[in-house]
Structure 1
Amino acid sequence: AEQEAARLGQFFADQFPEKISFRLFPRRINYPFYPVLGVMGVDGEALIDHGVRIIGLPIGYQMTSLIAALQVVSFRGQTLEPVTRIKLARLKTAVNIQILTTADNETGALVAKHAFGLAVASPHIRAYLIMADAFPEAAIRYSASTAPHIVINERVHISGVIDEAELLHQISLAL
Protein backbone atom coordinates (compact mmCIF):
# COMPACT_ATOMS: atom_id res chain seq x y z
CA ALA A 1 0.00 0.00 0.00
CA GLU A 2 2.89 2.37 0.69
CA GLN A 3 4.22 2.05 -2.86
CA GLU A 4 0.77 2.63 -4.33
CA ALA A 5 0.31 5.71 -2.15
CA ALA A 6 3.68 7.05 -3.29
CA ARG A 7 2.71 6.47 -6.93
CA LEU A 8 -0.64 8.18 -6.35
CA GLY A 9 1.01 11.23 -4.78
CA GLN A 10 3.56 11.43 -7.58
CA PHE A 11 0.80 11.07 -10.19
CA PHE A 12 -1.07 14.10 -8.84
CA ALA A 13 2.16 16.11 -8.61
CA ASP A 14 3.01 15.23 -12.22
CA GLN A 15 -0.48 16.15 -13.47
CA PHE A 16 -0.59 19.51 -11.65
CA PRO A 17 3.05 20.60 -11.19
CA GLU A 18 2.19 24.26 -10.48
CA LYS A 19 -0.34 23.39 -7.79
CA ILE A 20 0.72 20.12 -6.16
CA SER A 21 4.09 18.96 -4.90
CA PHE A 22 4.82 15.53 -3.49
CA ARG A 23 7.29 14.51 -0.81
CA LEU A 24 7.76 11.07 0.63
CA PHE A 25 8.70 11.02 4.29
CA PRO A 26 10.16 8.00 6.07
CA ARG A 27 7.92 5.74 8.10
CA ARG A 28 7.72 6.65 11.78
CA ILE A 29 8.73 4.04 14.30
CA ASN A 30 5.92 2.83 16.58
CA TYR A 31 3.18 4.20 14.32
CA PRO A 32 1.06 1.28 13.11
CA PHE A 33 -0.93 2.98 10.36
CA TYR A 34 0.74 3.47 6.99
CA PRO A 35 0.58 5.00 4.47
CA VAL A 36 -0.53 8.42 5.65
CA LEU A 37 -1.35 11.06 3.04
CA GLY A 38 -1.13 14.58 4.42
CA VAL A 39 -2.67 17.33 2.31
CA MET A 40 -0.96 20.63 3.08
CA GLY A 41 -1.41 24.15 1.82
CA VAL A 42 1.25 26.54 0.61
CA ASP A 43 1.76 30.19 1.51
CA GLY A 44 4.58 31.51 -0.61
CA GLU A 45 7.36 29.01 0.03
CA ALA A 46 6.06 27.80 3.39
CA LEU A 47 3.99 24.66 3.86
CA ILE A 48 0.87 25.03 5.98
CA ASP A 49 -0.22 21.90 7.82
CA HIS A 50 -4.00 22.09 8.11
CA GLY A 51 -4.25 18.73 9.87
CA VAL A 52 -5.88 16.92 6.95
CA ARG A 53 -4.82 13.26 6.83
CA ILE A 54 -5.91 10.16 4.95
CA ILE A 55 -4.67 7.01 6.65
CA GLY A 56 -4.43 4.08 4.29
CA LEU A 57 -4.64 4.00 0.52
CA PRO A 58 -7.76 5.89 -0.65
CA ILE A 59 -9.25 3.41 -3.08
CA GLY A 60 -12.78 2.98 -4.36
CA TYR A 61 -15.17 5.68 -3.25
CA GLN A 62 -12.51 7.15 -0.96
CA MET A 63 -10.64 8.50 -3.97
CA THR A 64 -13.42 11.12 -3.81
CA SER A 65 -12.27 11.89 -0.25
CA LEU A 66 -8.74 12.56 -1.51
CA ILE A 67 -10.07 14.90 -4.19
CA ALA A 68 -12.27 16.62 -1.56
CA ALA A 69 -9.20 17.08 0.66
CA LEU A 70 -7.28 18.66 -2.22
CA GLN A 71 -10.21 20.99 -2.99
CA VAL A 72 -10.81 22.02 0.62
CA VAL A 73 -7.14 22.83 1.19
CA SER A 74 -6.83 24.74 -2.08
CA PHE A 75 -9.97 26.79 -1.27
CA ARG A 76 -8.69 27.29 2.31
CA GLY A 77 -11.94 26.22 3.92
CA GLN A 78 -14.08 28.76 2.07
CA THR A 79 -16.53 26.00 1.14
CA LEU A 80 -17.91 26.09 4.70
CA GLU A 81 -21.03 28.02 5.64
CA PRO A 82 -20.24 31.53 7.02
CA VAL A 83 -21.93 30.74 10.36
CA THR A 84 -19.67 27.69 10.70
CA ARG A 85 -16.53 29.78 10.16
CA ILE A 86 -17.74 32.29 12.78
CA LYS A 87 -18.30 29.52 15.34
CA LEU A 88 -14.91 27.96 14.54
CA ALA A 89 -13.18 31.29 15.20
CA ARG A 90 -14.29 30.96 18.84
CA LEU A 91 -12.83 27.47 19.22
CA LYS A 92 -9.81 27.39 21.54
CA THR A 93 -9.58 23.67 22.33
CA ALA A 94 -7.90 20.91 20.31
CA VAL A 95 -10.29 18.64 18.42
CA ASN A 96 -9.47 15.37 16.67
CA ILE A 97 -12.02 14.03 14.21
CA GLN A 98 -11.54 10.46 12.99
CA ILE A 99 -13.74 9.07 10.24
CA LEU A 100 -13.59 5.31 9.80
CA THR A 101 -14.78 4.22 6.39
CA THR A 102 -14.19 1.59 3.72
CA ALA A 103 -13.39 1.61 0.03
CA ASP A 104 -16.93 0.59 -0.89
CA ASN A 105 -18.67 3.12 1.38
CA GLU A 106 -19.80 6.03 -0.76
CA THR A 107 -21.06 8.15 2.15
CA GLY A 108 -17.67 8.34 3.89
CA ALA A 109 -16.55 10.96 1.41
CA LEU A 110 -19.47 13.22 2.36
CA VAL A 111 -18.49 13.24 6.02
CA ALA A 112 -14.79 13.53 5.20
CA LYS A 113 -15.39 16.67 3.14
CA HIS A 114 -17.07 18.40 6.09
CA ALA A 115 -14.38 17.26 8.55
CA PHE A 116 -11.57 18.35 6.23
CA GLY A 117 -13.25 21.75 5.79
CA LEU A 118 -13.42 22.24 9.55
CA ALA A 119 -9.75 21.27 9.90
CA VAL A 120 -8.66 23.78 7.27
CA ALA A 121 -10.80 26.55 8.77
CA SER A 122 -9.53 26.08 12.34
CA PRO A 123 -5.96 25.54 13.53
CA HIS A 124 -7.36 23.61 16.51
CA ILE A 125 -9.01 20.84 14.46
CA ARG A 126 -7.34 17.78 12.94
CA ALA A 127 -9.29 15.46 10.64
CA TYR A 128 -8.25 11.88 9.91
CA LEU A 129 -9.93 9.62 7.38
CA ILE A 130 -9.04 6.04 8.32
CA MET A 131 -9.50 3.22 5.83
CA ALA A 132 -11.04 0.68 8.20
CA ASP A 133 -10.85 -2.14 5.67
CA ALA A 134 -7.05 -1.71 5.63
CA PHE A 135 -6.85 -1.26 9.41
CA PRO A 136 -9.53 -3.45 11.03
CA GLU A 137 -7.91 -2.90 14.44
CA ALA A 138 -9.14 0.72 14.28
CA ALA A 139 -12.71 -0.46 13.67
CA ILE A 140 -12.42 -2.90 16.56
CA ARG A 141 -10.94 -0.25 18.86
CA TYR A 142 -13.88 2.10 18.27
CA SER A 143 -16.54 -0.63 17.96
CA ALA A 144 -17.42 0.62 14.49
CA SER A 145 -19.99 -1.72 13.01
CA THR A 146 -21.14 0.59 10.22
CA ALA A 147 -19.37 3.04 7.96
CA PRO A 148 -18.85 5.87 8.18
CA HIS A 149 -18.16 5.94 11.89
CA ILE A 150 -17.05 9.26 13.35
CA VAL A 151 -15.04 9.62 16.56
CA ILE A 152 -14.51 13.08 18.04
CA ASN A 153 -11.85 13.48 20.74
CA GLU A 154 -12.20 9.81 21.67
CA ARG A 155 -15.50 10.73 23.43
CA VAL A 156 -18.30 11.17 20.92
CA HIS A 157 -19.13 8.37 18.47
CA ILE A 158 -21.53 8.81 15.56
CA SER A 159 -22.48 6.17 13.01
CA GLY A 160 -23.72 7.31 9.64
CA VAL A 161 -23.77 10.51 7.66
CA ILE A 162 -24.09 13.91 9.32
CA ASP A 163 -24.00 17.36 7.81
CA GLU A 164 -21.69 20.26 8.59
CA ALA A 165 -23.94 21.84 11.24
CA GLU A 166 -24.45 18.53 13.06
CA LEU A 167 -20.71 17.80 12.99
CA LEU A 168 -20.07 21.20 14.56
CA HIS A 169 -22.73 20.47 17.20
CA GLN A 170 -21.16 17.09 18.00
CA ILE A 171 -17.76 18.80 18.39
CA SER A 172 -19.29 21.08 21.02
CA LEU A 173 -20.58 18.00 22.86
CA ALA A 174 -17.10 16.45 22.81
CA LEU A 175 -15.47 19.46 24.47
Structure 2
Amino acid sequence: MSSPLMRGVYLVEFIILAAPATIVLGYLAMVLGVVSGGAFLVGTPSALLAGGKEDVQMAVFGGIGFGLAVFGLMSFWIFVSLSFDYMRGRLEASPQARRKYWRGVFYAAIPMAILGSLAFASGNVGSDSPFPFFFLGGLVLLIPAIHLGIALHAGVNPSLGERPPPRSSRGLSENSK
Protein backbone atom coordinates (compact mmCIF):
# COMPACT_ATOMS: atom_id res chain seq x y z
CA MET A 1 0.00 0.00 0.00
CA SER A 2 3.04 2.26 0.22
CA SER A 3 3.59 2.42 -3.52
CA PRO A 4 4.45 5.77 -5.11
CA LEU A 5 0.99 5.85 -6.74
CA MET A 6 -0.79 5.45 -3.39
CA ARG A 7 1.45 8.06 -1.79
CA GLY A 8 0.55 10.40 -4.67
CA VAL A 9 -3.15 9.77 -4.09
CA TYR A 10 -2.60 10.45 -0.40
CA LEU A 11 -0.78 13.69 -1.23
CA VAL A 12 -3.82 14.86 -3.22
CA GLU A 13 -6.13 13.85 -0.35
CA PHE A 14 -3.90 15.68 2.09
CA ILE A 15 -3.74 18.88 0.03
CA ILE A 16 -7.44 19.01 -0.87
CA LEU A 17 -9.05 17.66 2.30
CA ALA A 18 -6.71 17.42 5.24
CA ALA A 19 -4.58 20.56 5.00
CA PRO A 20 -7.46 23.09 4.98
CA ALA A 21 -9.37 21.25 7.69
CA THR A 22 -6.26 20.79 9.82
CA ILE A 23 -5.26 24.43 9.54
CA VAL A 24 -8.74 25.76 10.36
CA LEU A 25 -9.53 23.26 13.12
CA GLY A 26 -6.01 23.48 14.55
CA TYR A 27 -6.23 27.27 14.71
CA LEU A 28 -9.65 27.07 16.36
CA ALA A 29 -8.34 24.50 18.83
CA MET A 30 -5.48 26.85 19.76
CA VAL A 31 -7.90 29.76 20.20
CA LEU A 32 -10.25 27.56 22.25
CA GLY A 33 -7.31 26.42 24.35
CA VAL A 34 -6.19 29.96 25.09
CA VAL A 35 -9.69 31.22 25.89
CA SER A 36 -10.64 28.14 27.93
CA GLY A 37 -7.30 28.08 29.68
CA GLY A 38 -7.76 31.73 30.62
CA ALA A 39 -11.27 31.05 31.89
CA PHE A 40 -9.95 28.11 33.88
CA LEU A 41 -7.10 30.14 35.39
CA VAL A 42 -9.41 33.05 36.25
CA GLY A 43 -12.32 30.94 37.45
CA THR A 44 -10.49 28.41 39.58
CA PRO A 45 -9.15 30.69 42.35
CA SER A 46 -12.43 32.54 42.70
CA ALA A 47 -14.35 29.24 42.62
CA LEU A 48 -12.14 27.86 45.39
CA LEU A 49 -12.28 31.02 47.50
CA ALA A 50 -15.82 32.29 46.94
CA GLY A 51 -17.56 29.20 45.61
CA GLY A 52 -20.01 31.11 43.44
CA LYS A 53 -22.01 29.12 40.92
CA GLU A 54 -20.74 31.13 37.94
CA ASP A 55 -17.13 30.84 39.05
CA VAL A 56 -17.40 27.07 39.43
CA GLN A 57 -19.04 26.75 36.01
CA MET A 58 -16.35 28.91 34.42
CA ALA A 59 -13.60 26.82 36.01
CA VAL A 60 -15.17 23.47 35.07
CA PHE A 61 -16.09 24.36 31.51
CA GLY A 62 -12.80 26.21 31.02
CA GLY A 63 -10.92 23.09 32.11
CA ILE A 64 -13.00 20.88 29.81
CA GLY A 65 -12.48 23.22 26.87
CA PHE A 66 -8.75 23.39 27.53
CA GLY A 67 -8.53 19.59 27.73
CA LEU A 68 -10.45 19.19 24.47
CA ALA A 69 -8.17 21.70 22.75
CA VAL A 70 -5.07 19.85 23.98
CA PHE A 71 -6.45 16.49 22.79
CA GLY A 72 -7.30 18.02 19.40
CA LEU A 73 -3.86 19.56 18.96
CA MET A 74 -2.13 16.32 19.97
CA SER A 75 -4.18 14.35 17.44
CA PHE A 76 -3.38 16.93 14.73
CA TRP A 77 0.33 16.69 15.53
CA ILE A 78 0.31 12.89 15.32
CA PHE A 79 -1.70 12.93 12.09
CA VAL A 80 0.51 15.49 10.39
CA SER A 81 3.78 13.82 11.47
CA LEU A 82 2.61 10.39 10.29
CA SER A 83 1.31 11.95 7.06
CA PHE A 84 4.62 13.62 6.23
CA ASP A 85 6.51 10.40 6.94
CA TYR A 86 4.11 8.45 4.71
CA MET A 87 4.31 10.95 1.84
CA ARG A 88 8.12 10.88 1.97
CA GLY A 89 8.12 7.08 1.94
CA ARG A 90 9.78 6.85 5.36
CA LEU A 91 6.80 5.41 7.23
CA GLU A 92 7.23 1.77 8.12
CA ALA A 93 4.31 -0.44 9.07
CA SER A 94 5.86 -1.05 12.48
CA PRO A 95 4.01 -1.71 15.71
CA GLN A 96 5.26 1.66 17.04
CA ALA A 97 3.79 3.55 14.08
CA ARG A 98 0.50 1.70 14.44
CA ARG A 99 0.39 2.49 18.16
CA LYS A 100 1.09 6.14 17.38
CA TYR A 101 -1.73 6.10 14.80
CA TRP A 102 -4.24 4.59 17.24
CA ARG A 103 -3.16 7.04 19.95
CA GLY A 104 -3.95 9.86 17.52
CA VAL A 105 -7.34 8.30 16.74
CA PHE A 106 -8.07 8.13 20.48
CA TYR A 107 -7.05 11.76 20.99
CA ALA A 108 -9.29 12.82 18.10
CA ALA A 109 -12.28 10.70 19.14
CA ILE A 110 -13.01 12.55 22.37
CA PRO A 111 -13.26 16.07 20.84
CA MET A 112 -15.13 14.64 17.83
CA ALA A 113 -17.70 12.92 20.05
CA ILE A 114 -18.32 16.11 22.00
CA LEU A 115 -18.41 18.25 18.84
CA GLY A 116 -20.79 15.74 17.26
CA SER A 117 -23.16 15.87 20.20
CA LEU A 118 -23.02 19.68 20.23
CA ALA A 119 -23.56 19.78 16.46
CA PHE A 120 -26.67 17.64 16.63
CA ALA A 121 -27.97 19.43 19.72
CA SER A 122 -27.52 22.85 18.13
CA GLY A 123 -29.73 22.08 15.15
CA ASN A 124 -29.15 22.10 11.43
CA VAL A 125 -26.25 23.48 9.42
CA GLY A 126 -28.15 26.66 8.61
CA SER A 127 -28.32 27.74 12.25
CA ASP A 128 -26.00 30.30 13.81
CA SER A 129 -24.09 27.64 15.72
CA PRO A 130 -20.56 26.87 14.46
CA PHE A 131 -20.54 23.33 15.88
CA PRO A 132 -21.93 21.57 12.76
CA PHE A 133 -19.18 23.12 10.64
CA PHE A 134 -16.48 22.05 13.10
CA PHE A 135 -17.91 18.53 13.16
CA LEU A 136 -18.08 18.36 9.35
CA GLY A 137 -14.48 19.59 9.17
CA GLY A 138 -13.47 16.74 11.44
CA LEU A 139 -15.39 14.26 9.29
CA VAL A 140 -13.49 15.47 6.21
CA LEU A 141 -10.28 14.39 7.95
CA LEU A 142 -11.56 10.80 8.09
CA ILE A 143 -10.76 10.13 4.41
CA PRO A 144 -6.99 10.71 4.63
CA ALA A 145 -6.90 9.27 8.17
CA ILE A 146 -8.48 6.01 7.00
CA HIS A 147 -6.08 5.90 4.02
CA LEU A 148 -3.16 6.34 6.43
CA GLY A 149 -4.50 3.61 8.69
CA ILE A 150 -4.88 1.19 5.77
CA ALA A 151 -1.30 1.93 4.70
CA LEU A 152 -0.04 1.26 8.22
CA HIS A 153 -1.98 -1.98 8.59
CA ALA A 154 -1.33 -3.43 5.12
CA GLY A 155 -0.06 -6.99 5.36
CA VAL A 156 -0.73 -7.37 9.08
CA ASN A 157 -2.23 -10.68 10.17
CA PRO A 158 -5.17 -9.62 12.36
CA SER A 159 -5.34 -12.93 14.23
CA LEU A 160 -1.75 -12.52 15.42
CA GLY A 161 -1.83 -8.75 15.71
CA GLU A 162 1.43 -8.51 13.79
CA ARG A 163 3.11 -9.89 10.71
CA PRO A 164 4.09 -13.51 11.14
CA PRO A 165 7.82 -14.09 11.64
CA PRO A 166 9.87 -15.26 8.65
CA ARG A 167 9.97 -19.01 8.07
CA SER A 168 13.66 -19.26 9.05
CA SER A 169 12.99 -18.01 12.59
CA ARG A 170 10.14 -20.44 13.28
CA GLY A 171 10.91 -23.62 15.17
CA LEU A 172 14.31 -24.55 16.56
CA SER A 173 17.26 -22.25 16.41
CA GLU A 174 20.49 -23.35 14.78
CA ASN A 175 22.35 -23.64 18.13
CA SER A 176 19.89 -26.14 19.60
CA LYS A 177 20.24 -28.76 16.80
User: For this structure pair, what is the TM-score category when the shorter chain's length is used for normalisation?
Assistant: under 0.3
TM-score after normalising by structure 1:
0.24
Higher relative contact order (CA closer than 8 Å, sequence separation 6+):
2
Q: Larger strand proportion, structure 1 or 2?
A: 1
Tell me the TM-score normalized by structure 2: 0.23
Greater Rg by CA: 2
